Amino acid sequence: MNHIPPFRRAIQALAEGQTRAALPWLRQSIAEADEPELARLNLGMALADLGEFGEAEPLLRRALHDMPRLAEPRFRLGRIAAQRLQLTEARECFEAALATDPGHVMSLVGLAMLDEAAGRPEAALALLDHAALLAPSDRAIALFRLRCRAATEPAHAGMEIALSLLASPEGSVEDARLAASLLPPAEALPKLEAGAANQPLNWRWSFAIALVQQAAGEDEAAVASLRLAHLVSDGLPAVQGELGMRLAGLRRHAEAEPHLAQATHFLPSDPSFRSQHGITLFKLHRFSESRAVLEAAVRDFGPLPTLLGNLALTLNAQGLQREALATARRTPENVAGLANRLGVQPYHPQEGTAAALAATARALGALLPAPSLACHPPGFDPHRRLRVGFLSSSFSRHPVGWLTLAGIEALPREEVEVACFSLRPGSDALAQRFHARADLWRELPKLDDLALVEAIRADRPDILVDLGGHGEGGRVTALAHRAAPVQVKWVGAQSCTTGVPGLDWMLTDRWETPPGSEAHYTERLLAMPDGYVCYTPPAAAPPVAPLPASTRGQVTFGCFNNMAKMTPEVLTAWAEIMAATPGSRLVLRTHALADAATRHLVLERAVACGLDPARIEAHGPVPHEALLAAYGEIDIALEPFPYAGGLTACEALYMGVPLVALAGSSFAGRHAVSHLSNIGLTDWITESVPAYVRRAIAAAQDVVGLQDLRSGLRARMVASPLMDAPRFGRNLAVALRHAWHERCLAQ
């Protein structure tokens, strides 16, 4: 068959639907100048069909240049623009295609799709009437027309058309979406269920049922219906992708991932499936795959903000702080974009300073409204019992839970009524303790900012404490609308100032924010006399193990913080420490290291920074108790910088492992400073990288001193303010009362 020219072979493969198989023939045609212009056009079209827009676009532009009288390249570019959500550009392309060829049916359909998506079904219908004249036997156009007719009719008549569309032997997810959108659930569900009972082999009924259930907030039921639709449709990608999306929405990421992987493989042109696939891989700590998926999506769909934001988080999780911040900076400077930036910037070796973070936070704050609470019916009596609300999606086994529970439990009941505003239901042991202490418990559904604030206001808290910040699940920007007369930022992505105008105070201590820090906070500083948190150890924490160096003869350094905190500067400092401590080892243990590619990347960077890979042990995650037990093999913990460990530092100390810390300038950079100061280990705090290195080397040389310290460290910590819950509770009440008094004076 050698005599058949490559272009013909390619066209044959395309005609047989073998799109991917045609690609090498088309590339060969271009290389061998066998119909190169048409080959470029067809290659662009084929790649676009495979969702590889990044590669397709320049080929199509070249085809447009080479063959200006053809409508097809313009139409194809329009379709890519539409899938990148660049709707104006898409419209221009379709209109240009029609100017070239007024009978280009698919461009008419493309314009109709844009009109339909923009809520103009009448305009879409007019275009489709034209298209139907040109292609009277096209079944897809006929169904699309019917769908637009249904949308233009009054709801009930529309619903009847939509139902007949659903009942027809062919159809698409869009038909089901239309049927689901036209009637309220109470009317739609019985009709759809009757349809499903009559036509058990027609998946569109259960797909539509799922959409109605989801609109009614019945997410689990929607998943059940989508599972059925998925099986009945025999794995149709649009259905499977929707199933993956809903599972991910329920945070069932391990179940969602295979569905999203399949759906994006067979339907690569759907940006939301691709984006969610990247996020789901991130949630599963499969960072390198997540990065690959998101980078490919950015190539194909362009710099959509959600893609870039999630890519920034993934890069950060892999320890690529500079690339992460650079990616976050490509997102628009709106609230979401700047909040995303605040999620990665604290980790940046140069830009993670209090001053730089404050600049970003202030830019974010400037975009937020600054309304005040119109009235506060309970009034401003400075001495009465206060209702203090806590807003969190983490009243559970989560760092926020471990660092706030003891303090909230210990708040004096006669002075403070505790109201928990939970953004995510939880039922673990910590959640139960929060429940037990709360005088008022509210599970808040997904609400927009104003509705969320209204829901909190309805319970009239005097003080609202935010425990989410700009982190995942956090809603601190909503508090710009003000939900309580006094608003306080506490634990929960508390890495720097929030910048949010309605946040009056930041709960802190004199080590987290030493004098002079005020300039870097938009909040007033509400300093606790001891530490800003109170640590609750897990009930099942293992006992402190003997010093490993005493049997090994050599010191083992450890760091169980996540990869995002391990900057090249940190790795370089560790290399110096290890070089000066012969025979020593370094044990790393975190989620990212279970991901083979990320692990490889980390070790590569470690080597570049001068570390000996043979002396590094890199472990993936283990269950919490086993993680604590793993401190049994660590002599000295090395704190990262500029983002220090919070809960991780507490856990190391509780397990008898002292830590060498470098004081940073940001809130996130001073957690360990606060904890060490509160247990009287200020000599482990350093102020510069050389001092950090010297301190670690000196500690490693004093095995007797390490042994003494380790044997008494837990008792010392338990007796310290860091774990003295009653003392913390009293002081927290005093601090909150102070904030309340100030508010009463302003009245």
Tell me the window of 12-20, 29-37, 198-206, 496-504 that interacts with another protein (CB under 8 A). Answer: 198-206
Alpha-carbon span 651 to 1, nearest angstrom: 70
Minimum CB distance to another protein, residue 435 (Å): 9
Tell me the window of 97-105, 163-171, 497-505, 570-578 that interacts with another protein (CB under 8 A). Answer: 163-171
First to last CA, the chain: 91
- Angstrom CA distances, 511 to 507, 518, 531, 682, 734, stand at 12, 13, 8, 11, 19
- Given candidates 123, 167, 359, 703, which one binds another protein under the rule CB under 8 A? 167
Tell me the window of 48-56, 158-166, 355-363, 736-744 that interacts with another protein (CB under 8 A). Answer: 158-166
Decide if 460 contacts 485 (C-beta within 8 A). Answer: no
206 part of the interface to another protein, by CB under 8 A:
yes
Minimum CB distance to another protein, residue 264 (Å): 22
Tell me the window of 139-147, 221-229, 294-302, 401-409 that interacts with another protein (CB under 8 A). Answer: 221-229
Minimum CB distance to another protein, residue 178 (Å): 13
194 part of the interface to another protein, by CB under 8 A:
yes
155 part of the interface to another protein, by CB under 8 A:
no
- Given candidates 221, 284, 444, 629, which one binds another protein under the rule CB under 8 A? 221
Alpha-carbon span 467 to 395, nearest angstrom: 9
Token code pair at residue 306: 């959600």
Report which secondary-structure segment, H or E, holds 9: helix 6-15
Quick count: other Cβ atoms within 10 Å of Cβ 373?
16
Q: Can you spell out the DSSP letters for 553-613? A: SS-EEEE-S-GGG--HHHHHHHHHHHHTSTT-EEEEE-GGGGSHHHHHHHHHHHHHTT--G
331 part of the interface to another protein, by CB under 8 A:
no
Alpha-carbon span 317 to 295, nearest angstrom: 15
Tell me, by CB under 8 A, how many residues bind another protein.
24
Number of C-alpha atoms within 13 angstroms, CB side, residue 624?
Answer: 12
- Given candidates 92, 160, 459, 612, which one binds another protein under the rule CB under 8 A? 160
Evaluated on CA atoms 622, 628, 631, 632, the torsion sign reads: negative
Q: Can you spell out the DSSP letters for 200-229? A: TT-HHHHHHHHHHHHHTT-HHHHHHHHHHH
Tell me the window of 11-19, 100-108, 181-189, 223-231 that interacts with another protein (CB under 8 A). Answer: 223-231
636 part of the interface to another protein, by CB under 8 A:
no
147 part of the interface to another protein, by CB under 8 A:
no
Binding mask 227-256 for another protein (x = CB under 8 A): xx--xx------------------------
Residue of 523, 425, 544 whose CA lies nearest to 465: 523
Q: Measured from the CB atom, is 209 or 725 closer to another protein?
A: 209
443 part of the interface to another protein, by CB under 8 A:
no
Alpha-carbon span 216 to 185, nearest angstrom: 7
111 part of the interface to another protein, by CB under 8 A:
no
284 part of the interface to another protein, by CB under 8 A:
no
DSSP label at residue 353: S
Minimum CB distance to another protein, residue 225 (Å): 6
220 part of the interface to another protein, by CB under 8 A:
yes
580 part of the interface to another protein, by CB under 8 A:
no
Minimum CB distance to another protein, residue 198 (Å): 5
Angle at CA 248, nearest 5°, toward 247 and 254?
85
Angle at CA 16, nearest 5°, toward 14 and 22?
35
Q: Measured from the CB atom, is 142 or 231 closer to another protein?
A: 231
- Angstrom CA distances, 714 to 89, 537, 558, 600, 727, stand at 64, 11, 18, 35, 18
- Given candidates 150, 223, 699, 722, which one binds another protein under the rule CB under 8 A? 223
143 part of the interface to another protein, by CB under 8 A:
no
Tell me the window of 49-57, 222-230, 485-493, 592-600 that interacts with another protein (CB under 8 A). Answer: 222-230
Tokens 């240049």 — which residue?
65
Tell me the window of 23-31, 156-164, 483-491, 721-729 that interacts with another protein (CB under 8 A). Answer: 156-164
Tokens 């049997």 — which residue?
551
DSSP helix/strand/coil, 492: coil
Alpha-carbon span 314 to 321, nearest angstrom: 10
Alpha-carbon span 287 to 445, nearest angstrom: 29
- Given candidates 30, 59, 81, 166, which one binds another protein under the rule CB under 8 A? 166
Q: Which amino acid is at 299?
A: R
- Given candidates 198, 334, 372, 711, which one binds another protein under the rule CB under 8 A? 198
Minimum CB distance to another protein, residue 186 (Å): 15
Alpha-carbon span 700 to 688, nearest angstrom: 18
Tell me the window of 53-61, 199-207, 290-298, 717-725 that interacts with another protein (CB under 8 A). Answer: 199-207
Decide if 244 contacts 227 (C-beta within 8 A). Answer: no
- Given candidates 6, 110, 195, 468, which one binds another protein under the rule CB under 8 A? 195
Minimum CB distance to another protein, residue 221 (Å): 7
Binding site for another protein (CB under 8 A): 160, 163-164, 166-167, 191, 194-201, 206, 220-221, 223-225, 227-228, 231-232
